[in-house]
Amino acid sequence: MAFDMFKLHKLSDRLEAEAYDHAQWAIAGFYDLELEENEYGYEQDVYEVLTKEQIEEIDAYISENSQENTWHEPYTLSVLNRIVDQWYEENEGESKWPTISFDDGENFTDPHG
């Protein structure tokens, strides 16, 4: 019997959750944000208290660190993208990512112009 790694999806989920917590901590500390508890006793998510200007700065950071010949921890960029996307969905009712229709390959709608 050959060696095999089991439950790698659980490891991946744990690492992503750890990266998300770290990103929230870094953002809250950098912008001096106060995260309050909700009615269920859970702390607010950082995207709930960020301004559009702060989100745009984080988005620029993602772009700068996603350039060719630039290395950045992939989990960090992934969770930062998730925070930015959650902010856009919550505050502007849409994702920052374009919508692609698979019904007609010619249709491409960019929600941001």
For the stretch 88-103, pLDDT in tens is 999 987 555 555 555 5
- Residue given tokens 């984080």 in the structure block: 58
Mean per-residue pLDDT, 13-32:
94
| pLDDT value of residue 103 | 59
Please indicate whether residue 8 or residue 97 has the higher confidence score (pLDDT): 8
Tell me how far apart the alpha carbons of residues 55 and 76 are, in angstroms, rounded to a whole number: 15
Secondary structure of 45-83 in HEC code, one letter for each residue: CHHHCCCHHHHHHHHHHHHHCCCCCCCCCHHHHHHHHHH
End-to-end CA distance of the chain: 56
Distance of CA 56 to the CA centre of its chain: 13
Specify the pTM: 0.74
Give yes or no for a contact between 35 and 46, defined as CB atoms under 8 angstroms apart. yes
Ordered by start, the domain boundaries in the chain are: 17-28+45-101+108-113
CA angle 23, 87, 110 (to 5 degrees): 120
Write the DSSP symbol of residue 43: B
pLDDT tens digits, 56-79: 999 999 999 988 888 888 888 999
The pLDDT of 18-37, averaged and rounded, is: 94
Label residue 51 by pLDDT band (50, 70, 90): very high
